Structure 1
Amino acid sequence: MDNKEIVFTAPWEVEVREAALSPKALAAHEVLVKKKYTLISPGTELACLSGNEKWFRMPGVPGYAAVSEVVETGNGVTDFAKGDLVFHYGDHSAYQVVSAEGVFLKVPPGIPLQWVPFTRMATVAFTSVRVSDIELGDHVVVTGLGLIGNMASQLAKLQGATVFGIDFSEHRLQMAAKTGLDAGFSAGSEDVHDQIKQLTNGEGVSALIEATGVPKAVVDNLPLLARYGELILLGSPRGEYQTNVTEVLNYVHLINYGSLTFKGAHEWRYPVARDPFVKHSLVRNSQIVFDLMANKKLQIEPLISHVLKPEEAPTAYEGLKNDKERYHGVVFDWS
């Protein structure tokens, strides 16, 4: 069987390769799938492409968000059949052998297939709401309005909060306005904090969701938090940053009398499959996202900037790296 893969061959080098796929007999719980669409995760995949993610080895095939058609099933697979459309954590290849366990879910009818891979981005963002104490009537600010930050802002709004966003990109601010953001602010503006304080009657926000992964953004925006506020680290911190940590600790300890809470919001803090002893799981979150998409409560269409063929992968990653105003939600069409 002829296969096609997007391959990171070296830092900042992307190739599309033809490869023969000759899978051995499928294991009992394995499935052979044919991709329909896959979605680039800009933060993670650009970090991998830079060569700075030690867990990603080059040459390697990136990607972890796909909607596919089932081609063949192992003899232990009973819930799926040939022809089923499924959402799973698939890479950027035409065909792939994957496990039918865990996050491997049938796509409900009525959801456009191009939207389905965004479920992965939404479940990543979901963690910021799951770990938080965000309630009806709260004020929340999200720093960084890429795919993850945008969805975090939408989910916080669905939680009942008034949501503000901060980003350097005017295009991202406009996109977030289309998806329901209450107010957006340029990160380059000197009076951002004053404007947000005015909108919160001088109190500040109850939750700061940090989605950029830039450590400086955490420190710079701590003053936005109200008493008993929570800092939620959604973006994985990357890059070196030097500061006087004593000032940060004293801000928490003295200025706010120890009332601030720091929370990590990495998606893997919850189990993959449903567990009778744990309320949340990646499977449950994914199914909830399906419902939100189907009922048009989670806006996906404004997040799609490009639908490209796999052969255009070098252009896609170049755009995500150097033309962030035009490239954000890039979907590969494998049909």
Structure 2
Amino acid sequence: MKQIIQDLKNGDTILEEVPAPLVKAGQVLIQTTRSLVSLGTERMLVEFGKANFLEKARQQPDKVKEVINKVKTDGLQPTINAVFNKLGQPLPLGYCNVGKVIAVGKGVAEFSVGDRVASNGHHAEYVSVPKNLVAKIPDNVSDEEAAFTVIGAIGLQGIRLANPTFGESVVVVGLGLIGLITAQLLKANGCQVIGFDFDPSKVALAQSLGIDAVNPGEGTDQVAYVTNATQGVGADAVIITASNKSNEIISQSAKMSRKKGRIVLVGVIGLDISRADFFEKELTFQVSCSYGPGRYDESYEQKGQDYPLPYVRWTEKRNFEAILQAISTQSIQVGPLITERVPLSEYKQIYGDMGNSKSIASILVYPEKNTDPQRSVALISHSFAGSKGVVGIIGAGNFTSAMILPCLKKTPANLKFISSSGGLSGTTLAKKFDVAQSTTDNKLIFSDPEVDLVMVTTRHNAHASMVVEALNAGKHVFVEKPLALTQDELDKVLEAYVESGKTVSVGFNRRFAPLALQMKKALGSGNTPMNITATMNAGFIPANVWVHDMEVGGGRIIGEACHFIDLITSLCGSKVKAVCMNAMGTDPEENTDNASILLKYENGTNAVINYFANGSKAYSKERVEVFHQDRTLVMDNWRKLKGYGFKNFSSASSKQDKGHQNQFDLLINSVQKGGEAIIPMDELVNTTKASFAAIESLKTGAWVAVD
């Protein structure tokens, strides 16, 4: 399928060929007929992509601070690699999509194949969209008209926050696409509407729609105009839909407001607010968040959990439906806002010179297709017949892009497949790293007889099931940590492992780091007990991010602290016998990422893992101390190692290397030449069970034995 993307590195806007997505549970698969180009939002993205690195930095000062902190802790080269990796990920454009439902995912009852729907899908021939971001189109609303649904919902949400009542005077600052729809909705709500814009054509269009529209560039004083139009009262509310870096807009909005007036920001403007402007009138100011309640809430958007209507009357989906109803009843007119209709293949008519475009609404027209969507795209011609170490990768996220594929390219691995849910990220990485095929259908990987190693790098909740499926298909498996999230999942993995005769490897790369190998060598091979303290200054992650969701990410102890359980197992040469965990806070039922894990090992080793998320980013992220036979080792952030009391070792240093390259070198060699897994399966199982035991210990307040 074709999809429009923005290359953030060189600024090109591209019509890319990518595999069509499969429909997911809780989603609908849509074949697109029309999509609307949001010139305001998309122009900013295109201009950001075209900006040089210095200009990009100026536009995102907060990101610059993060980069500087990363240089201090991780070093210059890893930071540069991370920045270029981020810029190398293309951005899918568009969020106003209309089309026909061609497949319905599990758990979706409100849509059927053949329904015409509007959604926030991208500019792509096929999109899979969660059901709470999709709305049915009334029969008397055309696809072109319905393309305004999402952009209209943005304006509608701004109105809901302003909470106008019949007869109130409301000013709309900026008569672009959102502003023109907002003004019409306010007029339909019985408000006196005044609109301002410096573009004469937009002012004229607003006036043709019955809006009292004014061009301040012709000499009109905005504050005086509003004062006169409201008989000296001032505006009850001001809704700002403009995009301008000037602070003058917020100042003018305050001055034209009545005492205790409301100001709502929908657009993007300078926000150097004068206290005096707001203090004297006791004004309220609020920023509107996109389409409405539910936006950026994963439970609502991705899991389909609706907010009860009696308590949240207007969600983003219900705002979509309200806009469609307004178009259906002709309470608002969107047809006059269409400036141009452009076939998808001629997209450069819109994106070629976006900065100078005077268009209000551009509609992309998609070709009709009667064939099934293609789920795989061949990118290079290469024979894998008879090869060993033929790899199929499932997952094309940041870690795959930044670490796994660069490491694999330095090995003799044969990269045949990469699979991603939407098709775009996988295709981008396939082109960059010479992977033969990009797909959205994992079954192509499992069923391909040439693939002998499947690598799973998805979100954690899919790890165990994909490992089982790969083993059942007769493939060796590498899976990023964790191996499983529950004991039931682990049992199924073990059953498939025993029956398959294939190897399983988990991405516990720390044990393969050069400094970890040097530590193990210095400590010697004697199976004698040690005291080990490991600290992970993990950093704060907001509570709504998926890693904290016990059903999706398993929490950070199971999902991340397992790294250091495995490392300690490797260093001491023994397996965990019992676990006790204590966490900051008072409720043991709460998920945690601030905890101390105490580990008893079979050989008497005593270890503590301090996994903290409340430390400074300026401090080392990882630190390990080992006390053994009157000797001490201190490893700092995988860059420095110091030894105390050793006869033939005092210190070592390294570029920051957490063992990924060594891990993949060993893995590919094992698959190609045969042999044992790079980490014994009993150790993988022991580490996984120890992470489960840590969570159980927190809940019970007692030591938990690891079988």
Change (3 A) 1:76 1:196: closer
SS of residue in 1 equivalent to 2:170? strand
Higher alpha-carbon deviation: 85-94 or 310-319: 310-319
Task: State whether structure 2 residue 299 is matched by structure 1 residue 299.
Answer: no
Specify the alignment match of 1:249 in structure 2: 275
How do 1:94-113 residues align onto structure 2 when only pairs under 5 Å count?
94-99=125-130, 101-113=131-143
Q: Aligned partners of 2:353, 2:334: CA distance in 1, in Å?
A: 20
- The one-letter amino acid paired with 1:234 is V
The structure having more radius of gyration, on CA atoms, is 2
Q: Aligned partners of 1:160, 1:288: CA distance in 2, in Å?
A: 16
Please say if residues 167 and 190 of structure 2, whose CA atoms lie closer than 8 Å, have aligned partners that are also in contact: yes
Specify the alignment match of 1:118 in structure 2: 148
- The one-letter amino acid paired with 2:318 is R
Match of 2:45 among 38, 44, 48: 48
Q: Aligned partners of 1:115, 1:314: CA distance in 2, in Å?
A: 22
Change (3 A) 1:236 1:37: same
- The one-letter amino acid paired with 1:262 is F
Specify the alignment match of 1:5 in structure 2: 3
Deviation of 1:269 (Å): 5.1
SS of residue in 2 equivalent to 1:142? strand
Please say if residues 178 and 302 of structure 1, whose CA atoms lie closer than 8 Å, have aligned partners that are also in contact: no
Q: Aligned partners of 1:164, 1:320: CA distance in 2, in Å?
A: 28
Deviation of 1:313 (Å): 1.9
Specify the alignment match of 2:18 in structure 1: 19
Q: Aligned partners of 1:69, 1:191: CA distance in 2, in Å?
A: 48
| CA deviation profile, 1:183-222 (whole Å, cap 9, x unmatched) | 3233452523222322222222111111114343112332
Deviation of 1:318 (Å): 3.9
Match of 2:261 among 226, 229, 248: 229
How do 1:121-160 residues align onto structure 2 when only pairs under 5 Å count?
121-160=151-190
Please say if residues 166 and 187 of structure 1, whose CA atoms lie closer than 8 Å, have aligned partners that are also in contact: no
Deviation of 1:223 (Å): 1.2
| CA deviation profile, 1:272-314 (whole Å, cap 9, x unmatched) | 6442321211111111111111111111011111111122222
The percent identity for this pair of structures is: 24
Please say if residues 213 and 234 of structure 1, whose CA atoms lie closer than 8 Å, have aligned partners that are also in contact: no
How do 1:1-335 residues align onto structure 2 when only pairs under 5 Å count?
3-10=1-8, 12-21=11-20, 23=21, 26-51=23-48, 58-99=89-130, 101-187=131-217, 189-214=219-244, 215-237=247-269, 245=273, 248-254=274-280, 256=281, 259-267=282-290, 270-271=293-294, 273-276=306-309, 277-324=311-358, 327-335=359-367
Q: Aligned partners of 1:278, 1:16: CA distance in 2, in Å?
A: 39
More helix by share: 2
- The one-letter amino acid paired with 1:85 is R
Please say if residues 150 and 291 of structure 2, whose CA atoms lie closer than 8 Å, have aligned partners that are also in contact: no
Higher alpha-carbon deviation: 182-191 or 151-160: 182-191
Please say if residues 25 and 107 of structure 2, whose CA atoms lie closer than 8 Å, have aligned partners that are also in contact: yes
Q: Aligned partners of 2:189, 2:288: CA distance in 1, in Å?
A: 16
Higher alpha-carbon deviation: 221-230 or 168-177: 221-230
Q: Aligned partners of 1:162, 1:145: CA distance in 2, in Å?
A: 16
Please say if residues 274 and 283 of structure 1, whose CA atoms lie closer than 8 Å, have aligned partners that are also in contact: no
Please say if residues 292 and 314 of structure 2, whose CA atoms lie closer than 8 Å, have aligned partners that are also in contact: no
Change (3 A) 1:17 1:262: same
Please say if residues 340 and 362 of structure 2, whose CA atoms lie closer than 8 Å, have aligned partners that are also in contact: yes
Change (3 A) 1:32 1:221: closer
Which structure would you say has the larger RCO, counting Cα contacts within 8 Å and 6 or more residues apart? 1
SS of residue in 2 equivalent to 1:122? helix
SS of residue in 2 equivalent to 1:250? helix
Please say if residues 274 and 280 of structure 1, whose CA atoms lie closer than 8 Å, have aligned partners that are also in contact: no
Please say if residues 61 and 91 of structure 1, whose CA atoms lie closer than 8 Å, have aligned partners that are also in contact: yes
- The one-letter amino acid paired with 1:270 is P
SS of residue in 2 equivalent to 1:280? coil
Deviation of 1:270 (Å): 1.2
Structure 2 length as normaliser, TM-score? 0.43
| CA deviation profile, 1:104-155 (whole Å, cap 9, x unmatched) | 1221101011011201011100012111232222111111001111111111
Change (3 A) 1:79 1:202: closer
Please say if residues 33 and 97 of structure 1, whose CA atoms lie closer than 8 Å, have aligned partners that are also in contact: yes
Deviation of 1:156 (Å): 1.5
The CA RMSD over aligned residues, in Å, is 2.3
SS of residue in 1 equivalent to 2:149? helix
- The one-letter amino acid paired with 2:284 is T
Q: Aligned partners of 1:134, 1:80: CA distance in 2, in Å?
A: 34
Please say if residues 228 and 261 of structure 1, whose CA atoms lie closer than 8 Å, have aligned partners that are also in contact: yes
Change (3 A) 1:222 1:189: farther
Change (3 A) 1:107 1:299: same
Please say if residues 5 and 93 of structure 2, whose CA atoms lie closer than 8 Å, have aligned partners that are also in contact: yes
Q: Aligned partners of 2:45, 2:18: CA distance in 1, in Å?
A: 22
Please say if residues 165 and 184 of structure 1, whose CA atoms lie closer than 8 Å, have aligned partners that are also in contact: yes
Q: Aligned partners of 2:315, 2:203: CA distance in 1, in Å?
A: 31
Please say if residues 341 and 365 of structure 2, whose CA atoms lie closer than 8 Å, have aligned partners that are also in contact: yes
Change (3 A) 1:8 1:199: same
Gap runs ≥5 in structure 2? 49-55, 64-85, 296-305, 368-707
- The one-letter amino acid paired with 1:20 is P
Q: Aligned partners of 1:268, 1:195: CA distance in 2, in Å?
A: 31
Runs of 4+ in 1 over 4 A off after TM superposition: 52-58
Q: Aligned partners of 2:103, 2:94: CA distance in 1, in Å?
A: 22
| CA deviation profile, 1:78-120 (whole Å, cap 9, x unmatched) | 3323222111111011112333x20212211010110112010
Please say if residues 136 and 159 of structure 1, whose CA atoms lie closer than 8 Å, have aligned partners that are also in contact: yes
Q: Aligned partners of 1:292, 1:268: CA distance in 2, in Å?
A: 16
- The one-letter amino acid paired with 1:47 is M
